[in-house]
Structures are given as C-alpha cells and as structure tokens.
Homo-oligomer: A and B are copies of this chain.
Amino acid sequence: MTDFAATKAMFDLPEGILYLDGNSLGPLPSAAKARVQGMMADEWGDMLITGWNKAGWMGMPMDLGNRIGKLIGAEPDSVVVGDTLSIKVYQAVASALELNPGRKVVLSDNGNFPTDLYMVEGLLRSLGPEYELRVVDPEAVTDNISEEIAVLMLTEVDYRTGRKHDMKALTELAHANGVLTVWDLAHSAGAIPVDLSRCNADFAVGCTYKYLNGGPGAPAFIYVAPPLADKARPALSGWLGHEAPFAFDLGYRPGAGIERMRVGTPPVIQMTALAVAMDVWDLADMADVRAKSIELTELFIREVEAACPELELASPRDAEMRGSQVSFRFADGYAAMQALIACGVIGDFRAPDIMRFGFTPLYIDEGDVSRAVDILAEVMRNRLWDKPEYKIRQRVT
C-alpha cells in the first residue's frame, strides 16, 4: 500500500497554498535542489566534457525512458526522453504515416491539446496537399475510424474536461481498420494507470512536468511499440538517433529501436531534476494512486456541488470516464479563478469558461480538498472577484 504521507513529505509545498494545478506543473521534489546543485558542481563543474560518459549523461534519456515506461505499461527499452511534447508528436505522427503508406488522413478530435493539431498541420503541409488532418468531436471518433484513415492521434485524457478515451477499445478498432495509433499521455502518465503494451498502442508521447513533477520545461518522452521500433523512420533525424553518432558519417543511419527517436543533445540539468522526481514514483503503486485520485475527485465534486450551485460540472460524473482532474464551467470563470488563486487555492482556467482542478495523491490529501472547497465556496458566495477586498488580498498574496 502506497504511503501517501511519505510521498507528500518528499515535496516542497509552499506554506498556506493548496495546489490543485499539478496537472499543469508538478511541485518541487525536495531532494531536487541538492541533486541539481551536486550535478552542476561535481559533474558539469569537475568532469566537464567527460561527464557525458563518466557521469552517465549520455544514457539518461534511455534510463529515464525506462523509469517512465514502468508507469505506462511500456516494454523495456521502448521509451526515450527528449525534446518537447510538440516535437515528439511530430516524430510519432510522421513515422506512423510512413508506416501506413497509401493512406493520407490523420484523424483526431477537437478535445486534443491544440499543439498536437498544430504540429500535424505543419507536418502535413510539408508532406503535400494530398494529406488531410480530420478533426471531429470526441464522441464522433469511433464512427470516423475507417480504412481511409492512416493514423488516429488522440490525447487519452481531455485537457479541459478530463474526459477519458478508451485506449484499448479505440486501438482495437483502429487496428481492425488498418489504422495506426498515436496516444498523447500528457494527462495520463502519473495520473491514471496506462498499459500501452496490453492496449497494443503503436506510438505514445507525453510530458514529464505535469503529474510526473519533472519541473518547468522538463523534457518529453516517446514510446514506439517494439515491433515497429526498427521500422519507424525518425523524420527528425538528429545525430543522437544515428546508429553511430560519434563516427560523424555524412549520411544518416537510424539507430536500433527507440534510440533512433533521440534527436539532439539532451538537457542534462533538466533530466537531473526529472530523475529526482522519478524517485518519488519508486514509492508509489499506480493502482493506489488511481484509487486515491478517485476518492479525492469524488469528494471534491460532492462538496463543490453542495456548496457552489453556480458551478456546473464539466467533467464526466463517472470516475471511470475521467482522468485525475475535475473541471467546472462558470461564465465568470477567469475572474473567479484569479480570486481563488489570490486566496491561496491554485487551479487554472481554460477558455472559454473552464475552471480546472488537478488531483495528485502523491501530495494532495482529503484535508487539502475540503479546505480548498471551503475557500472556493467563500469566493463564489461573496463573488470575491467583484470586491475591493479581493484586490487587497491579491496584492498581499
């Protein structure tokens, strides 16, 4: 059984703040400061260029990939860390398209995070006018999977509402139609159990600064199913994905398996912070995290609906249908969220009217949830965002 009091003690959480935005940026693991300081002094400072080998920097993208892989049901050596999520989406979709020649349509939904759509828009423009990005409502995805589609690209958990797609069922349907899948796990990795291997997912990508707590701008990750890994062409064919990066050949030869998805020099300082964040996960069981997350979100929904009748639940009511966040719609949501933040409860706002709250059992407990609801209720009851007192509070916070 995961000891959540122990994991909570592993984070620096600022006094007087209730943080329900770990789905945007996870908090600071306490040990990260000293570890990064040590890496800078003892590795960068003392080893200089030799740190790439002596300190193991060159192997960090694979090491971290394997640690993340355990949380998402990936096979050993099928995940590598690097770049940003946008870049990894580009690589995954470009490779998937090339593995499915003859088909020209990428299917996605309008609940996908926009950068995924933007990156594919740019990719398809490079590939030529015969390619199409088809964006449908989330509920219409199933009906639009057909033998015309090359790639199905979906974010498993909707960034606004937390609605969760059924990865296993959709992947099966996709495969039955000869469609390859690219799953974005931005709001899944560390949030809900994911089993890429059991779902037969083809490609997956994700970021590490949300539920994984890797820090602002921590690198992304990419998964390629082992049977595809040696066939996938890395459209972004950088030297660290080369079979022999230090041979300095003039022509590109992709490296073995997932290593070919490496591109350029990886961010060692960021990866050091991420490694500390992954240490916390060594103490957590993902099934426990999910069970606790459901308790926290159910409690939050129940208490908010009792105390704040103005707020309309935007997330699925059925816990099985959502990720680890809860969103409410409210016309003055932006102003209300600013007031709430000024009162010490940090959630966030997503246009046009979504107040979004993330639940992260590693460092949020029932007491935090109830206290957050009390403050939210006070903000709503008094329409604090309209009051001069709010402006005073905002200044001193």
Q: Show the binding face of A for B, using Cβ within 8 Å.
A: 12, 14, 17, 19, 21, 24-25, 27-28, 32-33, 36-37, 40-41, 43-46, 48-52, 57, 83-87, 90, 94, 110, 113-115, 117-119, 121-123, 125-128, 135, 207, 209, 215-220, 233-240, 242, 246-252, 263-271, 273, 341, 346, 348, 350-351
Q: Quick one: given A87-B87, A268-B215, are A122 and B52 in contact (CB under 8 Å)?
A: no
Across-interface contacts of A86 in B (CB, < 8 A): 236, 238-239, 263-264
Once the chains bind, are A351 and B238 in contact (CB under 8 Å)?
no
Q: 10 A-B residue contacts at CB 8 Å?
A: A21-B48, A44-B215, A86-B236, A86-B263, A117-B252, A215-B269, A216-B269, A219-B267, A247-B351, A269-B269
Once the chains bind, are A250 and B40 in contact (CB under 8 Å)?
no
Q: Quick one: given A45-B27, A267-B270, A269-B273, are A242 and B114 in contact (CB under 8 Å)?
A: yes
From the candidates B19, B50, B268, name the one contacting A346 in the complex (CB within 8 A).
B50
In addition to A36-B40, A118-B252, A270-B270, 15 A-B residue pairs with Cβ atoms within 8 Å of each other are A12-B45, A14-B46, A21-B48, A25-B48, A28-B44, A83-B87, A84-B238, A86-B264, A122-B234, A122-B237, A122-B252, A216-B267, A216-B268, A269-B269, A269-B273
Q: Which of A27, A238, A271 has the most CB of B within 10 A?
A: A238
Across-interface contacts of A238 in B (CB, < 8 A): 84, 86-87, 115, 118-119
CA distance A246 to B203 in the complex (A): 27
CA distance A121 to B242 in the complex (A): 12
Across-interface contacts of A220 in B (CB, < 8 A): 264
Once the chains bind, are A235 and B85 in contact (CB under 8 Å)?
no
Across-interface contacts of A87 in B (CB, < 8 A): 83, 87, 236, 238, 263-264
Q: Quick one: given A117-B250, A121-B252, A238-B86, are A33 and B28 in contact (CB under 8 Å)?
A: no
CA distance A28 to B43 in the complex (A): 10
Q: Which of A14, A27, A90, A218 has the most CB of B within 10 A?
A: A90
CA distance A122 to B12 in the complex (A): 43
Q: Quick one: given A128-B128, A216-B44, A238-B115, are A121 and B51 in contact (CB under 8 Å)?
A: no
From the candidates B32, B40, B236, B249, name the one contacting A28 in the complex (CB within 8 A).
B40
CA distance A386 to B179 in the complex (A): 59
Across-interface contacts of A247 in B (CB, < 8 A): 351
CA distance A19 to B242 in the complex (A): 28
Once the chains bind, are B264 and A85 in contact (CB under 8 Å)?
yes
Across-interface contacts of A21 in B (CB, < 8 A): 48-49
Across-interface contacts of A32 in B (CB, < 8 A): 40
Output the least CB separation between A189 and chain B (Å).
Answer: 15
Q: Quick one: given A28-B41, A84-B265, A122-B237, are A217 and B115 in contact (CB under 8 Å)?
A: no
- Chain B residue, CB-CB nearest to A85: B264
Once the chains bind, are B25 and A49 in contact (CB under 8 Å)?
yes
CA distance A209 to B268 in the complex (A): 11
CA distance A87 to B239 in the complex (A): 11
